[in-house]
Amino acid sequence: MSQTEITAFSPRPDRRHPAAAVSTALAIALAGGLVCTIVRLPIPWLLGPMLALFAASKLVRAPLRWPGALRNAGMIVVGYSIGMSFTYPLLAEMARQLPTMLLMSVLLLLVCLIFAVILSRLAGISFPTALTGCIPGGLSQMIVLAEETKDTDLTVVSLLQITRLMMIVLCVPLLVFSPLFHPAGVAPDAASGAGTAAAARAAEWSGLFPNIFAFAAVAVASAWIGQRIKLPTAMMLGPLIGVAAVHLSGFEAPALPYPVLNAAQFLIGGYVGLLLKPDSLTRKTLRTLGLAVASGAALIAAAGGLSWLLRRLHPLSPQTSFLSLMPGGLDQMSLIAHEVGGNMTIVAGYQLFRVLFIFLVVSPLLKLYLHRLRSKERRKPEQEPSVAGRA
């Protein structure tokens, strides 16, 4: 695990009293979840802890710490809940939409490329920095890539990625719960039977046993294997694949009660809340921050436009198509899809395809491009003296 990831969930490490730092963070996150539940914010146990700890990391002097194990536990639960929703008809539908997934991923990345060109010119930053900051490949992956690249400004990359993430996780839930995404007469997704059926059964605690013990072991083992083979978002993708495989084999996975899903949101929301440090947003100029906000808003609008195109190609609800293309993270978009009644597995399929496409195709190409760019710049000083000598 890189140093960036360590500081992400432990922005103020206190080795003398780690339990106190964790307890304080848990208490603040719990208070945030309760307040958001009372005021009826969407997905309160994701947004509540995130907003509370984001504010507390600036206002509270006491050390705050969120162990990575807590976030990983939440990711495993979300991966399980997605994996148990897979059925053979749904897999056939996802296979049918595979060319569309590729098309939408490429179009979204082209939009990000255009934003990077504009941002580099208006903000006066290098194009490699702007490109690394605009690609929606996951916060930790892009920051690690920026660390490995000499010609990128890590602070600016973090600013761009964090600003985009903040805007998406704060604005997207409000958008998908608004009347804009609930037009009258629009039917649910044609392929969402498995997801809605699972949601309908989610309140039954008695239905957990005894199968949950076997599936819990499968989920944890799959997460460990995924981490060992370096899958992207391994703590979610591993359980998703493992649970789906066992579930499709005929051994039915029990649905999770809503309090368990809320706990998973709580564990992930607390992690993200400490990941988004206000201090990192105040060290850059107001102009750069303003451009980062503008690019984040433009990306949300572009994803909305592409979701309209996706609905023309496939019979999906506005919520499912929008969340499928929104570059906000597999875990968060899947959780929002669950809460809003969208097709959780279709959303996860599009999000997963984009993550794998960026991880397996875009990241190596980006590294190759940046390497060639550095080599070209190093050759320039060597060529200038020879030109002067001939003159």
CA–CA separation, 73 vs 43, rounded Å?
18
What does the block give as tokens for 298?
A: 């433009």
| Nearest C-alpha neighbor of 26 from the set 198, 273, 253 | 273
> Tokens 């060529």 sit at which residue?
383
Is residue 285 pLDDT above 60, yes or no?
no
| Nearest C-alpha neighbor of 334 from the set 352, 319, 348 | 348
148-162, 173-187, 262-276, 305-319: the lowest-pLDDT one: 173-187
% of the chain with per-residue pLDDT over 70:
74
Mean pLDDT on 301-306: 88
pLDDT in the model for residue 251:
84
141-150, 247-256, 267-276: the lowest-pLDDT one: 141-150
> How distant, in Å, are the alpha carbons of 33, 225, 331 from that of 353?
31, 20, 14
pLDDT in the model for residue 194:
44
Entry pTM = 0.63
Q: Please, are residues 153 and 126 in contact by the beta-carbon 8 Å criterion?
A: yes
DSSP per-residue letters across 55-93: HHHHH--S-----HHHHHHHHHHHHHHHHTT--HHHHHH
Mean pLDDT on 270-292: 67
pLDDT in the model for residue 224:
93
pLDDT tens digits, 93-143: 778 888 998 999 899 889 888 988 888 888 888 888 888 888 876 655 565
CA–CA separation, 96 vs 216, rounded Å?
31
pLDDT in the model for residue 195:
46
pLDDT in the model for residue 331:
65
Please, which pLDDT band fits residue 147 given cuts at 50, 70 and 90? low
Instruction: Supply the mean pLDDT for the chain.
Output: 76
Please, which pLDDT band fits residue 175 given cuts at 50, 70 and 90? confident
- Per the model's pLDDT, the better-predicted residue between 282 and 380 turns out to be 380
pLDDT in the model for residue 381:
59
DSSP per-residue letters across 179-215: GGG--TTPPPPTT-HHHHHHHHTTT-SGGGTTHHHHH
pLDDT in the model for residue 97:
86
Helix 258-275 and helix 18-38, axial crossing angle in degrees, nearest 10: 120
pLDDT tens digits, 59-80: 877 788 888 888 889 889 888 8
% of the chain with per-residue pLDDT over 90:
7
54-68, 169-183, 207-221, 286-300: the lowest-pLDDT one: 169-183
Is residue 302 pLDDT above 70, yes or no?
yes
Is residue 16 pLDDT above 80, yes or no?
no
CA–CA separation, 84 vs 264, rounded Å?
16
The count of residues in the chain is 391
Those residues with Cβ within 8 angstroms of residue 380's Cβ, 6 or more apart along the chain or in another chain = none
Residue-range domains of the chain with CATH: 3-183+190-376 (1.20.1530)
pLDDT tens digits, 193-222: 444 444 444 446 767 778 788 889 999 999
pLDDT in the model for residue 225:
92
Is residue 232 pLDDT above 70, yes or no?
no
189-193, 218-222, 238-242, 308-312: the lowest-pLDDT one: 189-193
pLDDT in the model for residue 202:
44
pLDDT in the model for residue 11:
42
- Mean pLDDT highest for which of 10-19, 20-29, 48-57, 350-359? 20-29
Those residues with Cβ within 8 angstroms of residue 92's Cβ, 6 or more apart along the chain or in another chain = none
Mean pLDDT on 166-190: 67
Q: Could you say which DSSP state residue 12 is in? A: S
pLDDT tens digits, 18-33: 788 888 889 999 999 9
> How distant, in Å, are the alpha carbons of 233, 237, 243, 309 from that of 221?
15, 12, 10, 39
| Nearest C-alpha neighbor of 370 from the set 156, 140, 127 | 127
Mean pLDDT on 2-10: 36
> Tokens 């590729």 sit at which residue?
102
